[in-house]
Structure 1
Amino acid sequence: MFPGRVRRTGGAGRARWEPWGGCRESGAGKARRGGGPAGKRAGGGTVASLPLTAGDPVRVGGYRLLARLGQGGMGRVYLGRSPGGRAVAVKVVRESLLRDEGFRRRFVREVAAARRVTGFFTAAVVDADPEGDPAWLATEYVPGPSLQDAVARHGVWPEQAVRGLGAALAEALGAVHAAGLVHRDLKPSNVLLAPDGPRVIDFGISAAAGDTALTEAGTVIGTPGFIPPEQLRHESSGPAGDVFALGAVLAYAAAGTGPFGGGASHAVNYRVVHEDPDLRGLPPALAEVVARCLAKDPDGRPSVASLLDELGGAEPAGWLPGPVADSAARLRAEVPTAPLTRAGDGTSEPPTAAVPARGRRRLRTALAVATALAVTVTGTVLWNISSGGDESPPSTPPRLEELWSRPLAEGQRMTVRSDEMIYLQNEERHEITALDITDGRKRWGREVPVADIRQDSAYLRDTVGDDIRITGLAGGLLYYGSGDHLFALDAGSGAYRWRYMDDSFHASPVVVGDAAYAHMTSFFYVLDTKTGKKLWDYGYDVNADGDITVTGDTLFVHSGRTLIAVDTRTRKQKWTHQAASEAETDPVVAGGKVYFGTQDGALYAVDEKSGDEVWRRTFEGELWDGRLGGGAGEPEVVDGTVYFENDGYVSAFDADTGRTLWQRKQKADEVTALTVVDGTVLTYDSDGNLTALDARSGKSLWREALIVGDGEDLWLTGNTVYVERDSRVTAYRAAT
């Protein structure tokens, strides 16, 4: 399992990249990740950038790369800067797609058309080499949140703002259509919000993907609820299909949900084809416009030109709701201007953009035993403190006892741990070392096998490389990726077991019995843990966020607001549950319930077998700012109590009823980790303090300063704290 960890890199964090596959990544990844700030838009938008790794290129075309924004089904995306200082999103297509001649031809044609799109409200393609090896394109980098993130965090928009948005999007679609393109995937996450107006992104790209192996026969490109009915009927779909999607986007902005509801994709698609949209949350005049856009017959929909006339006239200044405008302005100020520190390479330049004071550095918490479960919770606030903050007394004598300390070789970093060992990796030297968790002595260490890099593959040679990266630890196997393969070692001895060709998209498998479940955004595949042979796979039909949770015979995963349960015996979907806001944490199962937290600060408890909602709680009270709801991390369920941290708040809830037992506001802006051991809640915060609270009352017991700097790590697991700094790894025992 992965230990809780924070690495100070001046802006590194979890990223979400939806346009090219919806992939999220965070360092090495793990089977169940803690929360963190919702990934801001990449592929043209602002994202919580990750440092470049040793295998990433320094330049693509004439663009200097500053950070990795993410990866998905079509390739990797980077934040780049032109010689003149312009920020761009550089998208590098993965090599396996380029071996598909149909894709290559379509991609060349669509990029050529996309470069002709010159509308102001589009994120323009500014450069490309679609016939290169690797193929790539650079688009305008828009420093602003997506409409999806803005609505989830700040709520629905007033009518005037929606009309201004609609006019701008109609103008953008007009520019796309004038270039001979149809977007085919207009949705809230493909609309970025800059202070001077929205930008439509990824026009033409979904069409290019349509002729590739990424889409199986009969599969419809798009997002359920925004796909026009004629496309679902496998009829021809043209510009009128984009008008349908525009109507659904405007309904989303005004009501906070799509006009055809949520749930399983086939159910949403059925409603699109056969039922009327639900527009009850829209003002009457706006509902009338949207209803015409959503007509079942494409000939009955208005043209984008008529929509522009009907919705236009809004003042360009002040069209964006205030909180959203503030977010866009803040994101613009946070765009890095120099490469973020490369993992394992302390020589690269540090970021020069200002780091926000509240930048969340997530400390992911590992549990002390494999059977421990975590859950994200919020609830009705019963404050037992005043707004004055934490009154914990100074800890005398010191509450941290050093257990052991040992030097790290150049390039060594902490990665994962088991109940017996802690594992270090050296990416460039291809070395993995296992240390005894009790005294730090070396249990085993060796150079491990790496993928053979074909010299005729510029993508593998120059972009992916053969460096190693540990991705997970499960079922007695240690997993790492190299080149285009996922490798498995015996975690106890380091002996080689097998490798699996995963085309350089290295998963963090979850093991149940002899099956390893590997999540890949739009699907998961299952490997035999003994041989590495693929047993079967399953497609979600949607892009699924975060990581999977597997318990018993059920796999759980989130897709935006939808929780999906898949029966691993029948290989069919069991049920779905639709939340009111997007999931912020991965699903966690305990006591027959599935718990997860959402971006609006709510906690959901859902029946594990039926998917029925058991209870839901939200934060309330004068000390709570709902706009901070995106900072939730994984809590723990211990003896019928759920312990949870969200920004500076620490809470305890009854796991059966959701009743609030206690809640505290710490002095620090961020509580970045939480774990429970021996009746004590241990937390680590953004001010560098390790704090102990009484698990029954929430009363402060002690607090110790334990500062980690940029590029350093701190893990909190059980009552042991591991710190990587000053080229050493040191283990401490915290008093409980």
Structure 2
Amino acid sequence: MPASLREVLAACLAKEPAGRPPLDSVLAALTPADLHVLTTPALRREIAAREAEATRVATEPVTLPPTPRVDDTEAGKVGRRRILGIAAVAVAGIGAGTAGWASTRGTSTPAKPAPRASAPATAPPPAWTFTPPRPMSGTSIVLVAGDVVLWGGGEDMYGVDARSGRRLWTQEKANAAYSGNLARGSSFVVVGGVVGDFEDQRIMSIDARTGRTTNLPRPRAVSASSVLGVVGDTVIVASPRNVWALDLATGEIRWHLSDHRWLSGAVDRTGLYLSTDPSLAALDPATGRERWVRTWPASGDRDGASLDIAVAGGRVFGNFGDTLQAVDTATGRPVWSRDTDTQFDTVVPAGGDVIFKDEVLRVYDQATGAPRWTLAGPEPFHGDPGHLAADGGLVAAAFSDPAGPSRGILVAGTDGRALWTHRAPTGSQSGWHVAVSGSSVFAADDERLYRFEARR
């Protein structure tokens, strides 16, 4: 125990209540003069972990603890050392509570209390199950365009009727090992071909209903591994160090950024947004001209780019440096900012909120940045993009035990109330992949694609 606390502890253990110090004196002794020393990254991690644990406990069924084991040789003996140990824990608990209280003071909007819910129910029986001729290999992806679900792996992609689960078509050259495939209206825009084989690589537009494929003419100089988005008649594709804008009809290169170390990107109807180290840039999708660049100060524990960004409501949301931020798409000015020492891997808009995912889900109001709720799963949520989806009033997220076989999906309302879970092992470490459309949740492991109807 720190020497500075011994006097406080001794006073707290005074036999007569009148000799014990008042609470304000204890708080004064435990709280440093400068409260900012309390807001360390380690403390913020501890507070976040306890918050996630509290949410997890609140959503589990209550079970009575086992009868304590009593050691006969020590029964009835309560020594001074044990009393001091209990007292030390109590004082440390007060200190932790004081630190947590101090760290939340200031002008920040207080967090909305997490909804208290019963343990999530077991998932309802699937409305249908689609089993492909052979298990998926490699990375998997699930997308929805209208009433068609796209499910793909390292070798095949399938178009499945969302209502019946009937297979509509098979595409053997669309490869989900390439990231950034997307649904656009009634089509899927994907990068396909054999990974690493430049001659076999292609950019394709697949009609969702018929599976008819249109191969975009691809200049030899373009070696794309990701589709960032489509703006009008321009498709934005990228490799780890290059970004190209191609004419959607002819494949002509409209502009090219070389040696551009972007980490994540997103588009809306008027702009392309790229997150790099340590800045966020907005570009004109037609010309590639920079509209604005916002650079983060080189301070804090992490100054890197956001692993994922999302655009909604005229704002770009991301985990820039040591902050969660909303940035105005027109001006590049920050709308709101929240400190964090966690690196979030996925950002997904959900109604008027935005979800940041790491091992738990943290949700903030898009307009103000006010915390909405925090939700923990039965196991940590899976740590890669593609394992979180939201639409309408539903959120679906895949969870995975890093050290064991426990995997599955958790479905919740956009109010943070956990609805149900589906648990099942998967044949690979990629885990479950999810998509949400209306009241339907589509989930896939390596062998099957399911449609669940969410019950509220």
Give the shorter-chain TM-score range: 0.5 to 0.7
Partner of 1:519: 238
**Cα distance, 1:544 vs structure 2:** 1.6
Deviates more, 1:514-523 or 1:554-563: 514-523
Deviates more, 1:555-564 or 1:431-440: 431-440
Distance 2:267 2:389 in 1: 21
Amino acid at match of 1:406: F
The equivalent position to 1:422 in structure 2, one of 132, 146, 149, is 149
The equivalent position to 1:408 in structure 2, one of 114, 124, 132, is 132
The equivalent position to 2:319 in structure 1, one of 574, 597, 608, is 597
Q: Give runs of aligned pairs for residues 144-543 of structure 1, distance below 5 A.
A: 382=111, 384=113, 392-393=118-119, 395=121, 398-410=122-134, 412-413=136-137, 414-419=140-145, 420-424=147-151, 432-445=157-170, 472-475=181-184, 476-479=187-190, 480-482=192-194, 483-484=197-198, 485-492=201-208, 493-498=210-215, 499-502=217-220, 505-509=223-227, 510-531=229-250, 533-539=251-257, 542-543=260-261
The reply to whether residue 717 of structure 1 matches residue 435 of structure 2 is yes
The equivalent position to 1:637 in structure 2, one of 324, 346, 350, is 350
**Cα distance, 1:611 vs structure 2:** 0.7
Amino acid at match of 2:434: L
Partner of 1:559: 276
Q: Match of 1:571, SS?
A: coil
**1:294-333 deviations in Å (ceiling 9; x for gaps):** xxxxxxxxxxxxxxxxxxxxxxxxxxxxxxxxxxxxxxxx
Q: Give runs of aligned pairs for residues 679-718 of structure 1, distance below 5 A.
A: 679-687=393-401, 688-696=407-415, 698-710=416-428, 713-718=431-436
**1:196-223 deviations in Å (ceiling 9; x for gaps):** xxxxxxxxxxxxxxxxxxxxxxxxxxxx
Give the alignment's Cα RMSD to 1 decimal.
3.5
Deviates more, 1:572-581 or 1:495-504: 495-504
Change in 2 beyond 3 A, CA 1:709/1:610:
same
**Could you tell me whether the CA contact under 8 Å between 1:592 and 1:608 is conserved in 2?**
yes
Amino acid at match of 1:686: S
Change in 2 beyond 3 A, CA 1:425/1:393:
closer
**1:228-264 deviations in Å (ceiling 9; x for gaps):** xxxxxxxxxxxxxxxxxxxxxxxxxxxxxxxxxxxxx
Distance 1:632 1:424 in 2: 22
Partner of 1:41: none
Change in 2 beyond 3 A, CA 1:730/1:663:
closer
Q: Match of 2:368, SS?
A: coil
Distance 2:212 2:413 in 1: 43
Q: Match of 1:616, SS?
A: strand
Change in 2 beyond 3 A, CA 1:659/1:477:
closer
**Cα distance, 1:633 vs structure 2:** 1.9
Partner of 2:65: none
Change in 2 beyond 3 A, CA 1:599/1:439:
farther
Partner of 2:370: 659
Amino acid at match of 1:490: I
**Could you tell me whether the CA contact under 8 Å between 1:721 and 1:734 is conserved in 2?**
no
Distance 1:652 1:542 in 2: 31
**Could you tell me whether the CA contact under 8 Å between 2:240 and 2:262 is conserved in 1?**
yes
**Cα distance, 1:537 vs structure 2:** 1.5
**1:614-646 deviations in Å (ceiling 9; x for gaps):** 211124xxxxxx3xx1244223231x2223333
Distance 1:426 1:585 in 2: 23
Amino acid at match of 1:729: L
Q: Match of 2:160, SS?
A: strand
Change in 2 beyond 3 A, CA 1:711/1:439:
farther
Partner of 1:147: none
Distance 2:153 2:399 in 1: 28
Q: Give runs of aligned pairs for residues 23-42 of structure 1, distance below 5 A.
A: none
Deviates more, 1:664-673 or 1:591-600: 664-673
**Could you tell me whether the CA contact under 8 Å between 2:126 and 2:453 is conserved in 1?**
yes
Change in 2 beyond 3 A, CA 1:439/1:606:
same
**Could you tell me whether the CA contact under 8 Å between 1:526 and 1:535 is conserved in 2?**
yes
Query: Number of residue pairs matched?
Result: 321
Distance 2:204 2:240 in 1: 21
**Could you tell me whether the CA contact under 8 Å between 2:120 and 2:418 is conserved in 1?**
no
**Could you tell me whether the CA contact under 8 Å between 1:595 and 1:606 is conserved in 2?**
yes
Partner of 2:452: 732
**1:248-297 deviations in Å (ceiling 9; x for gaps):** xxxxxxxxxxxxxxxxxxxxxxxxxxxxxxxxxxxxxxxxxxxxxxxxxx
Partner of 1:338: none
**Could you tell me whether the CA contact under 8 Å between 1:474 and 1:511 is conserved in 2?**
no
Change in 2 beyond 3 A, CA 1:552/1:661:
same
Q: Match of 2:346, SS?
A: coil
Distance 1:487 1:658 in 2: 37
The reply to whether residue 610 of structure 1 matches residue 341 of structure 2 is no
Distance 2:364 2:417 in 1: 15
**Could you tell me whether the CA contact under 8 Å between 2:278 and 2:321 is conserved in 1?**
no
**Could you tell me whether the CA contact under 8 Å between 1:679 and 1:695 is conserved in 2?**
yes
Larger Rg: 2
Q: Match of 2:343, SS?
A: helix
Distance 1:666 1:527 in 2: 41
Partner of 1:257: none
**Could you tell me whether the CA contact under 8 Å between 2:382 and 2:431 is conserved in 1?**
no
**Could you tell me whether the CA contact under 8 Å between 2:207 and 2:213 is conserved in 1?**
no
Change in 2 beyond 3 A, CA 1:575/1:441:
same
Q: Match of 2:374, SS?
A: strand
**Could you tell me whether the CA contact under 8 Å between 2:350 and 2:392 is conserved in 1?**
no
Q: Match of 1:735, SS?
A: coil
Q: Match of 2:274, SS?
A: strand
Q: Match of 2:327, SS?
A: strand
Instruction: Give TM-score scaled by structure 1 length.
Output: 0.39
**Could you tell me whether the CA contact under 8 Å between 1:515 and 1:528 is conserved in 2?**
yes
**Cα distance, 1:527 vs structure 2:** 1.8
Distance 1:473 1:417 in 2: 7
The reply to whether residue 544 of structure 1 matches residue 262 of structure 2 is yes
Amino acid at match of 1:653: Y
**Cα distance, 1:405 vs structure 2:** 1.9
**Cα distance, 1:501 vs structure 2:** 4.3
Structure 2: give runs of 5+ residues left out of the alignment.
Answer: 1-39, 42-107, 298-302, 402-406
**Cα distance, 1:658 vs structure 2:** 1.0
Give the structure, 1 or 2, with the largest relative contact order (CA under 8 Å, sep 6 or more): 1
The equivalent position to 2:288 in structure 1, one of 571, 583, 599, is 571
Change in 2 beyond 3 A, CA 1:543/1:731:
same
- The percent of aligned pairs where both chains have the same amino acid is 20
**Could you tell me whether the CA contact under 8 Å between 1:584 and 1:596 is conserved in 2?**
yes
Distance 2:422 2:135 in 1: 29
